[in-house]
Structure 1
Amino acid sequence: MQYRYLGNSGFKISEITYGNWLTHASQVENDQAIACVKAALEVGITTFDTADVYANTGAESVLGEALKGERRAGLEILTKVFGATGPKQHNDVGLSRKHLFDSIDGSLTRLQTDYVDVYQAHRFDFFTPLEETMQAFADLVRMGKVRYVGVSEWTADQLRAGAALAKDLGFQLISNQPEYSALWRVIESEIVPTSKELGISQVVFSPIAQGVLTGKYVPGADLPAGSRATDEKGGAGSIQRWLRDDVLTGVQQLQPIAKELHLSMAQLAVAWVLQNQNVAAAIVGASRPEQVRDNAGASGVQIPEESMNRIDAAIGGVVERDPARTAERSPKQREA
Structure 2
Amino acid sequence: MEYRRLGASGLKVPALSFGAGTFGGRGPLFGAWGTTDAREARHLVDICLENGVTMFDTADVYSDGASEEVLGQAIKGRRDEVILSTKSGLPMGDGPNDAGSSRLRLIRACEDALRRLGTDYIDLFQLHAFDAGTPIEEVLSTLDGLVQAGKVRYLGVSNFAGWQLMKSLAIAERRNHQRYVAHQVYYSLLGRDYEWDLMPLGLDQGVGAVVWSPLGWGRLTGQVRRGQPLPAQSRLHRTADYGPPVQDDDLFRVVDVLDEIAQGTGRAIPQIALNWLLQRPTVSSVVIGARNEAQLRQNLGAVGWTLTPAQMARLDAASTRTAPYPHFPYHRQEGFARLNPPVVGSADRPAARSGGAGRHVPQNVR
TM-score normalised per structure 2: 0.82
Select the residue among 211, 214, 223 that pairs with 1:207.
Answer: 214
Select the residue among 94, 97, 106 that pairs with 1:88.
Answer: 94
- Which structure has the bigger radius of gyration? 2
Question: 1:56-90: per-residue Cα shift (whole Å, max 9, x none)?
Answer: 111111111111111x23211000110121x4311
Residue in 2 aligned with 1:193? 200
Contact 1:213 1:265 in 2 (8 A): yes
Residue in 2 aligned with 1:41? 49
Residue in 1 aligned with 2:360? none
Q: Quote the RMSD (CA, aligned, Å).
A: 2.0
Question: 1:95-120: per-residue Cα shift (whole Å, max 9, x none)?
Answer: 00000000000000000111100100
Residues of 2 paired with 1:164 and 1:245: CA distance? 40
Residues of 1 paired with 2:265 and 2:110: CA distance? 43
Residue in 2 aligned with 1:134? 140
**Tell me, which stretches of 5 or more residues in structure 1 are unaligned?**
325-336
Question: What amino acid sits opposite 2:9 in the alignment?
Answer: S
Give the aligned length. Answer: 317
Residues of 2 paired with 1:211 and 1:152: CA distance? 20
Residues 66-81 of structure 1: pairs in structure 2 closer than 5 A: 66-70=74-78, 72-81=79-88
Select the residue among 215, 224, 229 that pairs with 1:217.
Answer: 224
How far the C-alpha of 1:24 sits from its partner, in A, is: 3.6
Question: What amino acid sits opposite 1:182 in the alignment?
Answer: L
How far the C-alpha of 1:301 sits from its partner, in A, is: 3.0
Residues of 2 paired with 1:67 and 1:23: CA distance? 13
Select the residue among 180, 187, 204 that pairs with 1:180.
Answer: 187
Question: 1:31-79: per-residue Cα shift (whole Å, max 9, x none)?
Answer: 4333322222221100000000011111111111111111x23211000
Matching of residue 103 in structure 1 with residue 109 in structure 2: yes
Question: 1:7-29: per-residue Cα shift (whole Å, max 9, x none)?
Answer: 11110111101002255433223
- Residue 226 of structure 2 aligns to a residue whose secondary structure is coil
How far the C-alpha of 1:308 sits from its partner, in A, is: 1.1
Residue in 2 aligned with 1:272? 276
Residues of 2 paired with 1:134 and 1:57: CA distance? 24
Residues of 2 paired with 1:147 and 1:323: CA distance? 38
**Tell me, which stretches of 5 or more residues in structure 2 are unaligned?**
26-30, 327-366
Residues of 2 paired with 1:245 and 1:198: CA distance? 35
Mean alpha-carbon deviation: is it higher for 50-59 or for 287-296?
Answer: 287-296
Select the residue among 309, 314, 317 that pairs with 2:313.
Answer: 309
Mean alpha-carbon deviation: is it higher for 40-49 or for 128-137?
Answer: 40-49
Contact 2:22 2:290 in 1 (8 A): no
Contact 2:17 2:54 in 1 (8 A): yes
Residues of 1 paired with 2:62 and 2:323: CA distance? 27
- Residue 13 of structure 2 aligns to a residue whose secondary structure is strand
- Residue 80 of structure 1 aligns to a residue whose secondary structure is strand
Contact 2:87 2:127 in 1 (8 A): yes
Contact 1:185 1:320 in 2 (8 A): no
Residues of 2 paired with 1:294 and 1:46: CA distance? 17
Greater relative contact order (CA < 8 Å, ≥ 6 in sequence): 1
Matching of residue 20 in structure 1 with residue 27 in structure 2: no
- Residue 242 of structure 1 aligns to a residue whose secondary structure is coil
Select the residue among 143, 152, 156 that pairs with 2:162.
Answer: 156
Residues of 2 paired with 1:75 and 1:43: CA distance? 13
Question: 1:309-334: per-residue Cα shift (whole Å, max 9, x none)?
Answer: 11133343xx586599xxxxxxxxxx
Relative distance call for 1:320 and 1:56 in structure 2 (3 A) is: farther
Residue in 1 aligned with 2:352? none
Residues of 1 paired with 2:179 and 2:200: CA distance? 17
TM-score normalised per structure 1: 0.88
Residue in 2 aligned with 1:125? 131
Contact 1:53 1:84 in 2 (8 A): yes
Matching of residue 9 in structure 1 with residue 15 in structure 2: no
Residue in 2 aligned with 1:330? none
Relative distance call for 1:191 and 1:55 in structure 2 (3 A) is: same
Question: What amino acid sits opposite 1:262 in the alignment?
Answer: G
